[in-house]
Amino acid sequence: MLNEIPFTGKDLLIGLMPCKISTIKQSIQMRWSMTSIILSDTCASVSELKKNPMATVSSGEGFPVAILNRNQPAFYCVPAELYEKMLEALDDHELAKLVEERSNQPLVDVDLDSYL
């Protein structure tokens, strides 16, 4: 059933999500008794991460690697470059929201020469 899901963790990361997370959750629940949503194409155990951290990060080829503890996702190992892009996208989103909130405010004329 999981092979029928038409997208990958990379698609989720960049926001291309053709179906809802609840659909994924239901598919996983049908297959396993414990529900675990892994939003990554690559997984590694905590033991693998301890043995060779840089190889584990590299295995994701620039995308996050799900680190599993007892076959449950414990955290995501995100490469620095991608993390920076994610923070910049969040900042852009906050700025866009601020611009939208202020777009209906009245304009104020300011004479910059008066401040010199």
Residue whose C-alpha is closest to residue 41's, from 20, 66, 18: 66
pLDDT single digits (tens) 57-98: 999 999 999 999 998 999 999 999 999 999 999 999 999 999
Output helix, strand, coil percentages for the chain, rounded to the nearest 5.
50, 15, 35
Supply the pLDDT for residue 37: 87
